[in-house]
Amino acid sequence: MTDPVPDSSSEPAPDPVRLVDIRDTPLDVTEVVDALGDDGAGGLTLFIGQVRDHDGGKGVTALDYSAHPTALARLEDVCRRVAEEHDVRGVAAVHRVGELRIGDLAVVVATTAAHRGDAFAASRALIDTLKAEVPIWKHQVFDDRTEEWVGTP
């Protein structure tokens, strides 16, 4: 007599939200990709937002991100909604706060799915919703010594 094969359908599906964080240290793309490791994923899409040297026709000389105390919970909520609304296997989002330099990574988001189209759609929704709903604000200083806050209510 052989032992029965365990019914894998009774095991709970792994949590698709694999990594969510807001931190004041440099972001690591490899950490995000590794968090989404999944043999069942046929596609992994990755968006990296980095600090550019200009905005609105002006040169940027300094940039600082600030987060509201609720930002991490809001970011997790956004990740969970994207996971529920899209056919994904994994979701990850990490945002940086504090003083950043030109070229520094400001945000890294990624999704995995069985098929690339689903991964692309979910990643697009993730970054767009994050930018619209998570209370993280950008303070820019320009080369003409003017300043601007972006994303504040």
Tell me how far apart the alpha carbons of residues 152 and 64 are, in angstroms, rounded to a whole number: 13
DSSP 109-124: EEEEESSHHHHHHHHH
Question: What average pLDDT does this structure show over 48-53?
Answer: 96
Tell me how far apart the alpha carbons of residues 64 and 137 are, in angstroms, rounded to a whole number: 8
What are the C-alpha distances in Å from 55 to residues 15, 46, 47, 62, 141? 38, 23, 19, 12, 10
pLDDT at res. 19: 98
Mean of all residue pLDDT scores within the chain: 92
pLDDT for residue 11 is more than 90: no
Tell me how far apart the alpha carbons of residues 47 and 119 are, in angstroms, rounded to a whole number: 11
Q: What's the predicted TM-score (pTM) here?
A: 0.89
pLDDT for residue 38 is more than 80: yes
Percentage of the chain modeled with pLDDT above 90: 86
Q: Which CATH class is domain 25-147?
A: alpha beta
